[in-house]
Amino acid sequence: FDGYKAARYSRKYLAQHEAELAAYRAAKAAMNDLLGGAKLPKMDTLKKERRELSEKKKALYAEYRKAQADMRQAVAVKANIDYLLGHTDGRENKAQER
């Protein structure tokens, strides 16, 4: 399209590159439909946003790991208490009845 524009919208240039210009216009129309007419964000903005999201993900993942470890510890404590108090989940009783 830049060549067509540089040729000052020449009919001769249009005739020679009609298929390429049609593909360009179709791609531009598709992008406008996807973006709702908005412009594409700058690469620097996208890179900055990606870095921020990556840092946020790392922080949340660390929090998730801590919560997971706490849950495992709570399950182990519950199992120990149940063992000490003689509570079972029913599996051992069924095995003893047979």
Percent of the chain scored above 90 by pLDDT?
A: 46
Is residue 17 pLDDT above 90, yes or no? Answer: no
**CA gap 2, 75 in Å, rounded:** 66
**CA gap 7, 14 in Å, rounded:** 9
Residue 70: which pLDDT band, with cuts at 50, 70 and 90?
very high
Mean residue pLDDT across the chain: 85
Residue 89: which pLDDT band, with cuts at 50, 70 and 90?
low
Tens-digit pLDDT profile for residues 42-56: 999 999 999 999 999
Is residue 87 pLDDT above 70, yes or no? Answer: yes
**CA gap 58, 46 in Å, rounded:** 18
